[in-house]
Every structure is written in structure tokens, then in C-alpha cells.
Structure 1
Amino acid sequence: MLREDSPVFSRFGEIYFSCVHPGVVKAWHFHKKMTLNYAVVSGQIKFVLFDERVDSPTKGELQELYISPENYALVTVPPLIWNGFKGVGTKTAIVANCATLPHDPDEIERRPASDKRIPYDWAIQHR
């Protein structure tokens, strides 16, 4: 998934796994300081990022990725980028996250998946 000599590796905080059942959405959240490194170990997810950073050249842009072992990607999410994912396909997906900091609930901002400030409809399949 990630090596210490990789150009995207900065430091190790923790690694954890998240199970996502088909059709279930886990969104939205961002981290104030933590960088996330996601990979899908099993199953498939639709992974969506949204940039709301004020001075960012990509402010207001969405990115949608379909990730699975067959369509492998290590997705690095910098701080302050809203992100979430949805289980797609027929089996539960297992998502690994190698984060740069240990979990701290005060370091996370959350919004519901239906939050209108993020212009995304989880029901639509873009491919």
C-alpha cells in the first residue's frame, strides 16, 4: 500500500480499515492537519473529493474515482479536502487508510452526505 521511501509518504500516524457495504455512503469529512492515504483492499468504492479551500486553484471542484483491487489507486487526500465514499458492486468493500496522525476527534470536521454546500448527489452513477 505505502512504503516509507514513497514520494507521498511523509510520516506514520495510524492505519485503520473501514468496511463499506454496497449502497452505503460514508461522507462527508475533512481533517484539519492529517493527510490520508486510501487504498481499497477488497470490493469497490466510489470515492469523491471536494475542494472548498478559499485560496485553492481547484476551489469548488469535485473529483470522483472508482477504486478496487482491479482498478487500484493509492489516493492521497491533503488536509482540508472534503471526502467520502460509497460502497458499489455486490460485496462489502474494505478500505485501508494510512494516516499521518493518530485519530483525534477534535481534528475532524463532518457534514452529512446530503449537505447542499457540497454539490454532489451520491445517487448518481458517473462513469
Structure 2
Amino acid sequence: MLIEDAIKDQQTVTSEGESTNVLLTGVKKYEVPNIITPNGITTELYRPEWDVGPDQIRHMIHAILRTGAISAWHAHESQIDTIFVVNGTIKLVLYDDRADSATRGQINVLHLSRMRPTLITIPPGIWHGLQNLENFESSFINYFNNPYLYSCPDEWRLPFDTDKIPYQFK
């Protein structure tokens, strides 16, 4: 007999390994195949026919998160973020607070890793935060549709533990 108050797991993947997670409106996801070569592994980071990311890449960064680091919360008015993890495991949490969105008020929690390369595109207005889940540095590439404006950043921030977003990083 099971212990009282035990909670049964819900399905999170199909038998083919595909996530059952329904993405927020406008968020795009593309799993990138690794190419095994005689001397290692090659991973393409972007191809226009994948239909993920902005039509034109105008700025790109490589970011490193220290062990256990949380970078949250932030959103943009016009910037499109496209994220690709290159090292470690990162939890990406998305919150839709867009007034005109069919998924307003909903959350996506995505676990991204170099082991299963994935591009995630985050449209303007989606609050997002990242957490390094490893006991070592994790890193990601982030590319954008607009270059960063030093004099007027399109960056809106809330603390990671805000009560304005219905998610708490652990």
C-alpha cells in the first residue's frame, strides 16, 4: 500500500521522448541534432529554415552562470531572445504576462542541456529567468533581433523572488 498523500507523477514526455509541455504563445522550440564526426561532435547553432529565432541576427552574446546562479526576472518590449545552452544544464522559466496572449498567466519550465541541444525563442513581453542546475559553470549563447542599446536598454527587471510572478526558484 502506498503512503497516504503520495502524489502520482503526471506524463511529461511521450514514448518518443518528446515533451508534452505546451509552449506559451509565440515561444518557439527546435531540438538541434548533434552530428557525430570521426573526431568529435558538431552542432549547428542556427539555420534559417528551422524557423526559430529572429529573421536577422543583430547581436549575440555568450553568458556564463556560476554554480547555482539565478538570473531572473527580465523581459523586453521589442527584443527577441534566442537561447542555446553550450555547457551544463540550465532551467529556463517563462511567464506570460502579455495582455493579448492566449497563454497569459501561464508558466513554462524548460530544462536545457548540451546533451539535448535545443534552441528556444522568447518573444517580447515574456518574463524569463535562468538557473544553473550544475555544480560547475553552465553557459549559453543568446542572440537577438536588435543590438543592445547602451544608452537605453530594452531590459525590464524584477527580483528572482518576486511575488508578482507565480513561480519560485528552488
Fold shared by both chains (TM-score > 0.5)? yes
Question: What's the TM-score, normalizing by structure 2?
Answer: 0.69
Instruction: Give 2:164's match in structure 1, choosing from 85, 106, 117.
Output: 117
Match of 1:74, SS state, is strand
In the alignment, the residues of structure 2 paired with residue 79 and residue 93 of structure 1 have an alpha-carbon distance, to the nearest angstrom, of 25
Which is further off, 99-108 or 29-38? Answer: 99-108
* Structure 1 segments of 4+ aligned residues over 6 angstroms from their partners: none
Q: Distance in 2 between matches of 1:15 and 1:106?
A: 15
CA distance in 1, matches of 2:46, 2:81: 11
Using the TM superposition, give the Cα deviation of residue 4 of structure 1 relative to its aligned residue in structure 2, in angstroms. Answer: 3.4
**Structure 1 residue 3 corresponds to structure 2 residue 47:** yes
> What do the CA deviations read for 1:69-127 (whole angstroms, capped 9, x no partner)?
1022100000110001000122201110011110124311111101111011101xxxx
Q: Aligned to 1:90, which of 124, 131, 135?
A: 135
TM-score (norm 1): 0.91
Q: Rg bigger for which structure? A: 2
Q: Deviations over 1:19-63 (max 9, x none)?
A: 111211000111111111100001110110000001211000000
Runs of 5+ consecutive residues of structure 1 not aligned to the other structure: none
Q: For residues 29-68 of structure 1, what are the structure 2 equivalents within 5 Å?
A: 29-68=74-113
- 1:71 counterpart (116, 131, 152): 116
Same amino acid, percent of matched pairs = 29
The one of 100, 104, 108 aligned to 2:155: 108
Matched to 2:159, the amino acid is P
SS in 1 for 2:50: coil
Structure 1 counterpart of 2:22: none
Q: Which has the higher strand share?
A: 1
**Aligned counterparts of 1:19 and 1:99: Cα–Cα separation in 2:** 17
- Inter-partner Cα distance in structure 1 for 2:153 and 2:115: 35
